[in-house]
Amino acid sequence: MEAIVENPQRIFYIEIEIIDINDNAPHFRRDTINLDIMESTPAGERFSVNNAVDPDLGSNSVKTYLLSESEHFDIEIQTGRDGSKFADLILKKSLDREKQGVHNLILTAVDGGVPTRTGTASIIVRVIDTNDNAPNFPKDNYDINIMENSPVGTLVIKLNATDLDEGTNAQIEYTYSLYTSEKTQGTFNLKSSTGEISVKGTLNYEDIRNYDMEIIATDKGANSLSGQCKLTIQVTDMNDNHPEISIKSFQSPIKENEPIDTVIAVVSVSDKDSGDNGVVDLHIPHNMPFRLRESSDNYYELVVSEPLDREKVPEYDITFTVTDRGSPPLSDNETMTLELLDVNDNVPQFPQSFYTIRVMENNAPGALLSSLTAFDPDLHENQYLVYFILEKEIANTSMSMLFSINPENGNLYALKTFDYEIEKEFLFHIEARDSGSPPLSSNVTVHIIIVDQNDNAPVIVSPWRAHGSVVEEKIPRSTDKGSLVAKVIALDTDSVHNSRITYQFLQKEIANTSMSMLFSINPENGNLYALKTFDYEIEKEFLFHIEARDSGSPPLSSNVTVHIIIVDQNDNAPVIVSPWRAHGSVVEEKIPRSTDKGSLVAKVIALDTDSVHNSRITYQFLQVTDATLFSLDQYNGEIRTMRMFSYRDPRHQRLVVVAKDNGEPALSATVTIKLSTVETAVKAYSDMTEVPLEYDIFSDLNLYLVIGLGSVSFLLLITILVTIVLKCQKAKPSKAAPPCRNSVISERNSTIADSTLVSNDAYWYSLFLAETRKGKLVVRQPVPKGSRYIVSSIPRGTGLTETSDSAASTLNDNAVPPPHCGEVSCHCQELKVEHRIFLKKPICAIVIWFLNVYLSICLSIYLSVMVGMLLEK
């Protein structure tokens, strides 16, 4: 620097020397030094590297260089003109890029300071390649297996030759050598750039099994180098050929009875493959009656192994299958049809061994019963069947008279009409015979069952009726409620269902009384039960119908008329109706003392409401004053004189008469008659009876009586005619149902003479006809009210007279006949009393009642007029 000093001004030059210290380390201008050295560079070759720089001076500057340890390199230190130090890199051993392509070295610059400082640089030596290595294959010889069915383009092998060089020196090209055949080159393709060998043509093991080739690998260096290898390609056999079958002989058809081990066919097999692929097996289906028998190499015989049956299998489709043992196995097959010829080895067979055929009775003759078709599995004439009925007699009747069968189709026909009640079933056999040689046959059992139809109506069998369809049952009047009074049994000859019978009442009412209050019937067995206790004096009989109906379709029925008769018991004592007094049983009578022998003194009439047997009354004296004076007829109750009265006989006679019925035990009633004899009574009585009955009928007083009598007689005649018309109008019985009588009929026999009892509302009158020597006198006597009797008068000396409807009346719908009576000099006469209910409708009953009342009034008027005329006379 310069220093200027003023005053005096002076210039001083000042030099300052800085003494260096080692405060800087050496350093290279580049941290990395790259060197490219050919691997062919000989040893001793020198290579310059950049020197290090150190700002320090002198001894503090770079003093020396150090190189990291290396087998191939070393350094040599050089001093420049300025004293700087630099180093040269010397190749002390040849390089081999293939061993080490890059060498990394550390160059260290060291100064001379204290302490020393260093600086480093990295030297990277890259070895430049030269074509000093030929391509090299991993193996000199390659053995390759390839499947014969490998398709075109299939990679066989990829060759990988190596060249230690790099760049173009390492680029390899593959080619076939001259020793490789054109066939091989045409079969396989070699890709020169990659060394890939692939299938170019079709491989066939059966044509060429091995391929040999030589491959050369050449690099692309300036001085190209090459290497080579050999390849042997073996084609592996694939199971690509199917086995073959050849039918050398085949026999068809054959008989179904061919013996076992009969040869049917000869078969040969082959396969072009090798090894297991060429080993074949022949077989047929296992479910066939045949087997294969090996006769020679690859030849087989098909023989029968089991009995054949054309009826089971008429033909066989035999499939011969040949299979090789390759993987996967290949096979081939051939199918042949074997037909069997029929022989007559099967008997005809029916679908079932027992036929049950049901035939409705009353069938039409010639009706088809069934088709009994048998089956024969044989063919042609061996299958043609003929049907027969094996002859057999049933109840001495040939089967050919009952049935016929069509010999061609087995249709069975009935030749007659069957009746289930006569023939219920048939059992016989039918044979089916084929037409083979020899013929075979079989038979089947046929059971014909006649099916019942409801063609028989029930028949009443109990109680049996010999005369008509009315069943009479007599039951005592004391029958308890619920007692069995009758039993109706009907039989039906039809089968079980059609013969199941039920019993029921046809009508619902009897005499306007519901059946459910009188009787009940068991619908299953026909038992008839009483539902009440009956009284003979009120209900003497019942007449109704019971129907027996089967359960067929349509049902059939029959009916029976049941007549229930109430049997009377002697429970009513006789009642003295004549002579009768209202106050006691003592009757006083007066008779002339001059009465002749055999004259009728009195007549005792007793009635019994019991039945005929129990109501038969006999009379006898219980007490009599003089047994020689009077006689009593035991049947008619007439008391007559046995002699004339004498002066010795007392004036008063006392007679006790007993009336006894015929029951068991007997019941009786008594009456006491006091007779008084008078002298004057005879003349008065005689005068009264001898007076002529003529009088002046045209007097003023009697004119009105005649007019009234004519009117009353006219009205009486009209009333009688209307009553007869109404009572004769009975409903005609319906044709669809049996007539139903809603009435009770009772016929009773009795005898009475010289007496008529007429019913009236207030009194019963006894019109007593007394005989005298000079004439007849009509005497009216009252009878106890309430005695229910109808007695028709029967004149002495006449026959049986039936009570007319106009002369009888009913009380409480009951009629009881009088007891037997009669005179000594005449036969006992019978009286028939009939009690009926003719009409069902209430209006008709009301009309009849009014007519009866009207008739009674007319009779009363008529009697009054007659009495008036007599009194006037």
* Residue 28: CB atoms within 10 Å: 19
Q: Cis peptide before 151, with omega less than 30 degrees from 0? A: no
Contact 532, 538 (CB under 8 A): no
SS3 for 714-727 is HHHHHHHHHHHHHH
Helix, strand, or coil here: 712? helix
- Among 399, 406, 452, smallest CA distance to 427 is for 399
Residue 17 lies in a domain: no
Q: What percentage of the chain exceeds 90 in pLDDT?
A: 21
Measure the CA–CA gap between 429 and 407, rounded to whole angstroms.
14
The sign of the torsion formed by the CA atoms of 168, 170, 175, 179 equals: positive
Q: Which two tokens stand for residue 417?
A: 């009409």
Domain count, the chain: 7
Measure the CA–CA gap between 119 and 85, rounded to whole angstroms.
14
Please report the pLDDT score of residue 263 as a whole number: 92
Residue 805 lies in a domain: no
End-to-end CA, the chain: 232
Residue 755 lies in a domain: no
Check whether residue 706 and residue 844 sit in a common domain. Answer: yes
Check whether residue 467 and residue 563 sit in a common domain. Answer: yes
Measure the CA–CA gap between 275 and 286, rounded to whole angstroms.
28
The per-residue pLDDT for range 515-540, each reduced to its tens digit, is 878 888 898 888 888 888 877 777 77
Q: Which two tokens stand for residue 493?
A: 């000859």
* Distance (Å) of CA 530 to CA 527, 542, 743, 758, 853: 10, 12, 19, 36, 37
The sign of the torsion formed by the CA atoms of 341, 343, 347, 348 equals: positive
- Among 62, 152, 66, 160, smallest CA distance to 111 is for 62
| DSSP 8-state secondary structure symbol assigned to residue 613 | T
Residue 331 lies in a domain: yes
Please report the pLDDT score of residue 581 as a whole number: 65
Backbone angles phi and psi of 289, in degrees to 5: -85, 40
Strands (E), 803-844: 831-833
Let me know the angle formed at the C-alpha of 379 by 378 and 382, rounded to the nearest 5 degrees.
Answer: 70
Choose between 254 and 700: higher pLDDT.
254
Q: Which residues contact 233 (CB under 8 A, 6 or more apart)?
A: 144, 145, 146, 156, 188, 210, 211, 212, 213
Helix axes 842-872, 700-728, angle to 10 degrees: 160
Check whether residue 197 and residue 286 sit in a common domain. Answer: no
User: Of 419, 451, 483, which residue is a domain's last?
Assistant: 451
Identity of residue 254: I
Q: Is residue 734 scored above 60 in pLDDT?
A: no
DSSP-assigned states of every residue in 255-290: ETTPPTT-EEEEEEEE-SS-GGGG-EEEE--TTSSE
The per-residue pLDDT for range 553-593, each reduced to its tens digit, is 888 888 888 888 887 777 788 888 888 665 556 788 888 88
Domain containing 257 equals 244-341
**In whole numbers, what is the pLDDT of the chain averaged over residues?**
78
Side-chain-side CA neighbours of 244 within 13 Å: the count stands at: 8
Choose between 697 and 597: higher pLDDT.
597
Identity of residue 534: F
DSSP-assigned states of every residue in 170-196: G-EEEEE-TTS-HHHHHHEEE-TTT-E
Give me the CATH number covering residue 176.
2.60.40.60
Reduced to 3 DSSP states, what percent helix, strand and coil does the chain have, rounded to the nearest 5? 10, 40, 50
Confidence at 195, pLDDT banded by 50, 70, 90: very high
Measure the CA–CA gap between 198 and 158, rounded to whole angstroms.
9
**Measured in whole angstroms, how far is the alpha carbon of residue 403 from the centre of its chain?**
36
Check whether residue 35 and residue 102 sit in a common domain. Answer: yes
* Helix runs in 188-261, H state only: none
Residue 601 lies in a domain: yes
Q: Is residue 652 scored above 50 in pLDDT?
A: yes
Q: Sheet of 85-91: strands edge to edge? A: 46-48, 85-91, 73-79
User: Of 284, 312, 341, which residue is a domain's last?
Assistant: 341
Residue with tokens 């008036």: 868
Check whether residue 67 and residue 172 sit in a common domain. Answer: no
Measure the CA–CA gap between 788 and 472, rounded to whole angstroms.
27
Q: Which residues contact 7 (CB under 8 A, 6 or more apart)?
A: none
- Among 49, 51, 65, 50, smallest CA distance to 116 is for 65
Check whether residue 714 and residue 631 sit in a common domain. Answer: no
Q: Is residue 369 scored above 60 in pLDDT?
A: yes
Number of DSSP helices (H) and strands (E) in the chain, helices first: 4, 61
Helix, strand, or coil here: 448? strand
Residue 303 lies in a domain: yes
- Among 822, 700, 833, smallest CA distance to 751 is for 822
Check whether residue 446 and residue 360 sit in a common domain. Answer: yes
Please report the pLDDT score of residue 159 as a whole number: 93
Let me know the angle formed at the C-alpha of 537 by 531 and 543, rounded to the nearest 5 degrees.
Answer: 55
Residue 90 lies in a domain: yes
Q: Is residue 817 scored above 90 in pLDDT?
A: no
Choose between 691 and 618: higher pLDDT.
618
Confidence at 706, pLDDT banded by 50, 70, 90: low
Region of poorest pLDDT, from 120-129, 470-479, 842-851: 470-479
Contact 645, 677 (CB under 8 A): yes
795 burial class (0-12, 13-18, 19+ CB within 10 angstroms)?
exposed
The per-residue pLDDT for range 61-87, each reduced to its tens digit, is 988 999 999 999 999 988 888 778 888
Contact 763, 774 (CB under 8 A): no
The sign of the torsion formed by the CA atoms of 698, 703, 705, 710 equals: positive
User: Of 406, 424, 451, which residue is a domain's last?
Assistant: 451
* Helix runs in 356-502, H state only: none
Choose between 161 and 206: higher pLDDT.
161
Taking residues 775-796, what's their average pLDDT?
37
Q: Which two tokens stand for residue 406?
A: 């069509």
Contact 505, 517 (CB under 8 A): no
299 burial class (0-12, 13-18, 19+ CB within 10 angstroms)?
middle
Check whether residue 531 and residue 626 sit in a common domain. Answer: no
Check whether residue 697 and residue 722 sit in a common domain. Answer: yes
Check whether residue 447 and residue 467 sit in a common domain. Answer: no
**Measured in whole angstroms, how far is the alpha carbon of residue 367 from the centre of its chain?**
32
User: Is the pTM for the entire model greater than 0.75?
Assistant: no
Contact 635, 618 (CB under 8 A): yes
Confidence at 804, pLDDT banded by 50, 70, 90: very low
Residue 815 lies in a domain: no
Highest mean pLDDT among 287-291, 511-515, 801-805: 287-291
Check whether residue 388 and residue 436 sit in a common domain. Answer: yes
Measure the CA–CA gap between 159 and 156, rounded to whole angstroms.
10
Check whether residue 497 and residue 636 sit in a common domain. Answer: no
**Measured in whole angstroms, how far is the alpha carbon of residue 81 from the centre of its chain?**
138
